[in-house]
Amino acid sequence: MSGLKTETIQDVTRIFKLIGDPTRFLILHALENREMSVNAIAEELDLEQSAVSHQLKKLREAKLVKGRRNGKNILYSQDDQHVYEILHLAVEHAEHGRKEESM
């Protein structure tokens, strides 16, 4: 991976830092293939609405999620399929590692 620009390396590590947080990971997972309001996410994940809003702001700033106004609500969804591919690969890798450890 030589030849990567410093800016690209910083962006990649920022993405991994964001999705490495358990709450943000759960939010990203909940938003896969569907739109949800802040309240729906908070209810599903048993989190405070303010905590979800705070995390969504960080995810939006990194363009990992996007919001769409629907009346008085904003519905959030995945913004970039690449991030979800990374999440799926990470989950698959973690599960594969656990299977090998139990053998």
The domains found in the chain, sorted by start residue, are: 6-101 (1.10.10.10)
pLDDT surpasses 60 at 49: yes
Residue % of the chain over a pLDDT of 90: 77
- Over residues 54-66, the mean pLDDT reads 96
pLDDT band of 37, cuts 50, 70, 90: very high
Q: 51-57 — which CB contacts under 8 Å span 24+ positions?
A: 51/23, 52/27, 55/21, 55/23, 55/24, 55/27, 56/27
pTM: 0.86
pLDDT surpasses 60 at 29: yes
pLDDT band of 103, cuts 50, 70, 90: low
β-bridge partners, 7: none
pLDDT surpasses 90 at 27: yes
pLDDT band of 96, cuts 50, 70, 90: confident
